Structure 1
């Protein structure tokens, strides 16, 4: 069994497609199929089942995938350790960022970090917050940025941002003249809400609305804060956004209102507890904790 076979299998499982995986790792589809078949023959187990244009993992396939993640994670960790031993001025860092967070704070951070450490390459992937957390846990990213709270038995947490969430409404909305609105007054409102991939979906729903005793009436869900604000500006509903985003709303059609009780938006850099952090990763964490966001 070769490590390459396991890496190929991991890509197939990730994309649920031989075709997409082959494109991603730049080999032919027949060659990838042959590699997976050889792996199955060596393990004497069927790992994947082809259904229409996608593939599903068998029980054996899911077990092999878990071991593969552990093996490839150890190989990655070995490479990072060796790189740190031989060269402290270069490196590569894989970071997972939710789109909301990336567009708000990180262009400036990346610029300043690159200026300070020009030989450290940053490989940034944008996922929804929940997927970033899962990907850090599984080793796809060395570090990620997540919305708190998070399970600190699994992750090391380095807080970087804390600010209030605000209610935004159309200027002609009945609540537009209010300086502060209680959550109980929002029971009958229609919301432009966060997509399920975002940690804020569960945080705002569970810790704000459900605690107040009702489910929010969700009219639309979006993965883009600018689209959410534009829907509010079109008087299609109301939304709850972080203060930093509200500060970027350049429209006279929206009023920004404080919420009672206060919802705090807390961001942190996270790493998997007990996992080796590269020299590049440590430099980035130290940098972002001291660089003003």
Structure 2
């Protein structure tokens, strides 16, 4: 059974005449009769009672007509929905977002995007950047915001932020008179550090190892404002992106540059070889 058979059948049911249906379909009456006969043979049931003047439906024919009408109605609805998606009258996006990043860059962007595309719903889940990457790879999210680098063989990468890491210390710290510090000179410091599911955890740990030591971890946190307050209470030092440091208003905290520079670059990522919705593609274009 194919859709053309059902369409031809519905035309006959509509006109109750093979002649008028054939004229409407712009085919010959014998061709129409042959198509109807093939449908009846396939269903093993007579659908139309043919007389000289009319073509009435049997009980089975009326059932086929009801279902055929539903089928074509659903096809029409599907086409309308797809057109709505293409014109962005509707849609949804699932995004994975690290908590530190979300508060910095996304509120204003989300507001502007929603204003322009009010019928696109956005579901945001906050994970550490490392878990965001894994979740995009596994298909939980269409899009994620990740700290670079990520594997370019697995992901499409759309850079959005270039930043660098800074050291935050108490204003009475022995290094407070300096404007910058060598990373290797932090060997004896106690750190307010990040949880393991944050990309910054592995990034900074590797940097410390490269200069010859493992950092002494006093506390771990997932909240940058809490980390800053801990530094302000002189409980340790921490390292955060400059864009976060620019928001620090604690008068007891001083921000120093780190040598060599440690980049903190962000990108929107999507998994390669996976369908990306119209809404997600539009979001990428909008954000960039």
The answer to whether TM tops 0.5 is: yes
Q: Tell me the residue number matched to 1:158.
A: 158
Alpha-carbon distance in structure 2 between the residues aligned to 1:86 and 1:106: 26
Any idea what the Cα deviations from partners look like across 1:211-245, whole Å, max 9, x if unmatched? 10111111111000011000000000000011111
Q: Tell me the residue number matched to 1:106.
A: 106
Q: 1:82 to 1:253 in 2, by over 3 A?
A: farther
Q: Tell me the residue number matched to 2:280.
A: 281
Alpha-carbon distance in structure 2 between the residues aligned to 1:166 and 1:278: 37
Q: Tell me the residue number matched to 2:176.
A: 176
How large is the RMSD of aligned CA atoms in angstroms? Answer: 1.6
Q: Tell me the residue number matched to 1:220.
A: 219
Q: CA deviation at 1:194?
A: 0.7
Alpha-carbon distance in structure 2 between the residues aligned to 1:158 and 1:204: 23
SS in 2 for 1:266: strand
Q: 1:83 to 1:238 in 2, by over 3 A?
A: farther
Q: CA deviation at 1:84?
A: 4.6
Any idea what the Cα deviations from partners look like across 1:46-85, whole Å, max 9, x if unmatched? xxxxxxxxxxxxxxxxxxxxxxxxxxxxxxxxxxx99555
SS in 2 for 1:205: helix
Alpha-carbon distance in structure 2 between the residues aligned to 1:179 and 1:83: 58
Q: 1:145 to 1:168 in 2, by over 3 A?
A: same
Q: CA deviation at 1:168?
A: 0.4
Give the ranges of 4+ consecutive aligned residues of structure 1 lying more than 4 Å apart after TM superposition: 81-86
Any idea what the Cα deviations from partners look like across 1:70-105, whole Å, max 9, x if unmatched? xxxxxxxxxxx9955553221000000000001111
Structure number with bigger Rg: 2
Equivalent residue runs for 1:35-114 within 5 Å:
84-87=82-85, 88-89=87-88, 90-114=90-114
Q: TM-score, normalised by structure 1?
A: 0.69
SS in 2 for 1:153: coil
Aligned residues: 209
Q: Tell me the residue number matched to 2:167.
A: 167
Segments of 5+ residues of structure 1 without an aligned counterpart are 1-80
Q: CA deviation at 1:131?
A: 1.0
Equivalent residue runs for 1:111-122 within 5 Å:
111-122=111-122
Asked if 1:186 corresponds to 2:186, the answer is yes
Instruction: Tell me, yes or no, if the aligned pair for 2:229 and 2:250 is still in contact at 8 Å.
Output: no
Alpha-carbon distance in structure 2 between the residues aligned to 1:85 and 1:262: 49
Alpha-carbon distance in structure 2 between the residues aligned to 1:236 and 1:223: 17
Alpha-carbon distance in structure 2 between the residues aligned to 1:210 and 1:186: 12
Q: 1:196 to 1:121 in 2, by over 3 A?
A: same
Q: Tell me the residue number matched to 2:132.
A: 132
Instruction: Tell me, yes or no, if the aligned pair for 1:195 and 1:222 is still in contact at 8 Å.
Output: yes
Instruction: Tell me, yes or no, if the aligned pair for 1:192 and 1:231 is still in contact at 8 Å.
Output: yes
SS in 1 for 2:136: helix
Alpha-carbon distance in structure 1 between the residues aligned to 2:284 and 2:224: 26
